[in-house]
Structure 1
Amino acid sequence: MRIAFVHPALAGKGGGERQLLNLAIQLQKKGHKVEIFTRYVDPINCYPALVEQVKVNTLSASTEPILINKLSFWLGKSKFLFRAAVDIGKNYKDFFTMLILGLSVPKHFDIINCHNFPTEWAAFIAKLRTRIPIVWHCNEPPFWFHQKFPFRCFAWPLYQIWDKLAVKYVDLIITLDELNHKRVQEIYGRDSSIIRSGIDVLKFRNMKGDKIRNRHGFAPEDFVLLQVGALNHYKRQEDSIAALKYAEYPFLKLLLVGEGSSYEVARLRGLVKRLELTDRVIFAGQVSDEELPEYYAACNTFLFPAEQTWGL
């Protein structure tokens, strides 16, 4: 079978990127012909050992919506409307980019497999041209459907009209669990098949966390809480930080693994400073897949307060 994977961008070490690349590699091992279509790829920062095993097709720089790029950049400089401005620019930039990405998928494939939002938009455009059936791995529906006023207003046509129209053309929706299965039913009125992600348990066997605890200066009596994920408000690192303020145990420490935008990092570091927790909250930054199991071994408790079902 010839399978066209569609993904927004292979730009960093995210869960969706890990899921997509591993699935593509495993399907190749089964004898299927696989290609990935995406905006761009960072072969250094996005799982280079995985990326080199699959064929990746990217959009040229000349096809990027330059005007929308510049508009979102300048709007983003407004501190007062920062989130609203960035959302406006990003949503409409995504719209035009997905149109172009959908037009780049050739007609000789048997299946289009789209993953992270908003690639269902690109798959929709591709299907209109090629009549190739779509399988959507819906790791979660767009966050817009859970936003509150006034942020929902800015992109209402893209989601209530365009996104729902695109999903009508999807032939099969796959979700990770019951929660997203229910969300898909509520938002789109569609059924979905639940297929849970697998775990490579061998990577986590016989791991020791002494090196990581020493690196970050933890004492033997320190009780370490670990949270792994991109630094953004959906992952709710700020709630973990705030909860630490109320904990009476003096040796309780919070270790945050992941990176985010300069705005998000500054926001979280500012919160830590205001709550006087600089000696109890550690920002580890991006961690390699090879070293991540050692971080799990180094902690006493793992936190997952994200507004999502689980990490990939």
Structure 2
Amino acid sequence: MNILIVTQNIALGGAQRVAVQLSDYLNKNGHRAWIFTPHIDLAGVSGVARQQNYIECPYPILKKVGHEYKMRGNIFSLALNILRLRRYLKKTIKQYQIDLISAHNPPANWIASFLDVPVVWSCNEPVSLCFSKRKPDYFPLSVEPPTIASRFLQALYEVVDYSLCHWGIDRIVVLSRYTQKGVRNIYNRTADICRVGAEFSQIQGGDGHSIRRRFQCEQAFLLLQVGHFKPEKNQAVSVKALCLLKDRIPDIRLMFVGEGATRNDVMQLAEEVGVRDRIIFAGRIGDDQLRDYYDACDLVIFPSVRQSWGLIVFEALAAGKLSVASSDCGASEVLLDKQIGFVSEPTPEALATKVLDIWNGKSSGLFDGMVERGQNYMSEELTYEVYGRRMTRLFAKILAERSANRS
């Protein structure tokens, strides 16, 4: 099969890592895969990402601000570049004799809809311009209060988005029941669930002692949160939970890995609640360094909201560390179903209570076997090898069905 993976960008991040790993699996298993994208930034990414075949398009839809990508221009310039990208994509399909398109992060689903080849959309989150009262399952790109103009654009967006994704996409794939429900409510379609996890070889074997020495926290009970500083990542909840725990757990510390728009706000909050001296802002690190940070911590926390999955939770498990995940993310389904981690409401009080319970139960052996059980489950169900195999089977099935319908 000749597969074209379409995504908004390739850079440091979990969603981008999934696209890269799928490409790698396809190319190593007798197929040909290319990644079609208008933005390629390989700084800090794994070696696997550097080995893929890229088709870089000349019509950018994002701009880099610091370490983050934001929409370039306004909604009208975005629409114009989507049309340009569609034309470029049609030429690419013919030139490379593409059999099927695997669309990933929006607006890849719009760019690839209604084409002559089958399209499978890997939907991390159905996104919208702002919060929608009519369809609250959307993930809003803006948290600003809607204006009259933005409400009008949102209504128009919903009509176009429904039309393209209901009729113009052959199959939708999601990571969790959480997102499957959202797809059903927004698009009136049933999505397939195909989950991803982590590659053990890329996560295990970290040098946590070097990280603890560098940040002078050798004896601390160390919490770790990995991710961009964005409102939905909820770092503020972690800071407030730390404030509730500072007098109950001796030498508790919190480490943030990542950069982003709300970093300064989080630092200011830490000063205001009196825990700045207990927080380590480690900054942005490359994929190849993550294993050291996972190895250094005692517990990973993931208090994010409106998240379709939570790859961090499973990377931590591959590294031998348990996590507390938000109940408002897809990863919590697996943690609860398989009893391989912890779940709390994404509030400071709930998170602090759960962390304290774990700290109190650690010495009693109450949680012995959870990591081993989790790693066994992951090796069977949540590796990129398993993900690639399942997606390949789905691609082959779709192509076989289309061939049968034509004959």
- TM-score of the superposition, structure 1-length normalised? 0.82
Compared with structure 1, are the counterparts of its residues 207 and 43 closer, same or farther at alpha carbon in structure 2 (3 Å cutoff)? Answer: closer
Query: How many angstroms does 1:134 deviate by?
Result: 0.4
What is residue 255 of structure 2 aligned with on the other side?
A: 255
How many correspondences in the alignment?
Answer: 284
Q: Is 1:111 the counterpart of 2:127 in the alignment?
A: no
Partner of 1:122, secondary structure, is helix
Q: Is the 8 A contact 1:6 1:115 kept in 2?
A: yes
Q: Is 1:99 the counterpart of 2:83 in the alignment?
A: yes
Compared with structure 1, are the counterparts of its residues 292 and 87 closer, same or farther at alpha carbon in structure 2 (3 Å cutoff)? Answer: closer
What is residue 238 of structure 1 aligned with on the other side?
A: 236
Instruction: Say what the alpha-carbon RMSD is for the aligned residues.
Output: 2.5
Q: Is the 8 A contact 2:21 2:48 kept in 1?
A: yes
Query: How many angstroms does 1:305 deviate by?
Result: 1.0
Compared with structure 1, are the counterparts of its residues 96 and 243 closer, same or farther at alpha carbon in structure 2 (3 Å cutoff)? Answer: farther
Q: Is the 8 A contact 1:41 1:58 kept in 2?
A: yes
What is residue 137 of structure 1 aligned with on the other side?
A: 122
What is residue 80 of structure 1 aligned with on the other side?
A: none
Query: CA–CA distance in 2 between the matches of 1:287 and 1:201?
Result: 19
Query: CA–CA distance in 1 between the matches of 2:60 and 2:27?
Result: 30
Q: Is the 8 A contact 1:99 1:121 kept in 2?
A: no
Compared with structure 1, are the counterparts of its residues 216 and 44 closer, same or farther at alpha carbon in structure 2 (3 Å cutoff)? Answer: same
Query: How many angstroms does 1:159 deviate by?
Result: 3.1
Deviation string 1:165-210 (CA, Å, 9 cap, x unpaired) is 1112110111111111111111111101111113212344454421
What is residue 280 of structure 2 aligned with on the other side?
A: 282
Partner of 2:262, secondary structure, is helix
Segment of structure 1 superposing worse, 246-255 or 173-182: 246-255
Unaligned runs of 5+ in 2: 131-137, 313-407
Segment of structure 1 superposing worse, 159-168 or 197-206: 197-206
1:35-114 to structure 2, matched below 5 A, reads 35-47=34-46, 49-60=47-58, 63-64=59-60, 89=73, 91-105=75-89, 106=92, 107=94, 108-114=97-103
Partner of 1:290, secondary structure, is helix
Q: Is the 8 A contact 2:110 2:161 kept in 1?
A: yes
What is residue 217 of structure 1 aligned with on the other side?
A: 216
Query: CA–CA distance in 1 between the matches of 2:243 and 2:304?
Result: 19
1:24-39 to structure 2, matched below 5 A, reads 24-39=23-38
Q: Is 1:171 the counterpart of 2:156 in the alignment?
A: no
Query: CA–CA distance in 2 between the matches of 1:39 and 1:246?
Result: 45
Partner of 2:230, secondary structure, is coil
* Percentage of matched positions with identical amino acids: 31
Partner of 1:231, secondary structure, is coil
Q: Is the 8 A contact 2:227 2:258 kept in 1?
A: yes
What is residue 81 of structure 1 aligned with on the other side?
A: none
Q: Which amino acid aligns with 2:17?
A: R
Unaligned runs of 5+ in 1: 74-85
Compared with structure 1, are the counterparts of its residues 17 and 90 closer, same or farther at alpha carbon in structure 2 (3 Å cutoff)? Answer: farther
1:285-300 to structure 2, matched below 5 A, reads 285-300=283-298
Compared with structure 1, are the counterparts of its residues 140 and 121 closer, same or farther at alpha carbon in structure 2 (3 Å cutoff)? Answer: same
